Amino acid sequence: MDRSGRRVILSDLSTPATVAAAPPAGLRTQLVDELDPLFLPRIPPHLLARSVEQALRDLRGSVSDEALPEMAVRLARHRLLTTMVEDEQAVAAS
């Protein structure tokens, strides 16, 4: 039973009620271009693109389509900065 007391049938669970749409074409490139000035040349473009793609994938379906670009840039920026700090700490420790 679900929270409303309705009996849940397994077939109801096999098909999601809503499927998150893929982000608009060119969004990944737009977001990578936004991050380029912050991280190049320290982080190669293919790693920026991978970070953006992972952020889009992680957030897809969790945030509104309107908020997706901003939230993906924030998440990618956070992950990249964290990686840079961890790398610098590892170099300093060695």
Domain of residue 57, CATH code:
1.10.8
48 within a domain of the structure (yes/no) = yes
- Are 29 and 72 contacting, i.e. CB atoms less than 8 angstroms apart? no
Residue 12 has pLDDT above 50, yes or no: no
* pLDDT at site 40: 86
Produce one character per residue of 54-90: b if its CB has 16 or more CB atoms within 10 Å, e if not: ebbeebbeeeeeeebbebbbebbbeebeeeeeeeeee
68 within a domain of the structure (yes/no) = yes
Cis before 41? omega within 30 = yes
pTM: 0.69
- Structural domain containing residue 42: 22-93
pLDDT for 25-77, tens place per residue?
Answer: 689 999 999 999 999 888 888 999 999 999 999 998 899 989 999 999 999 99
Q: 87 falls in which pLDDT band (50, 70, 90)?
A: confident
Number of domains in the chain: 1
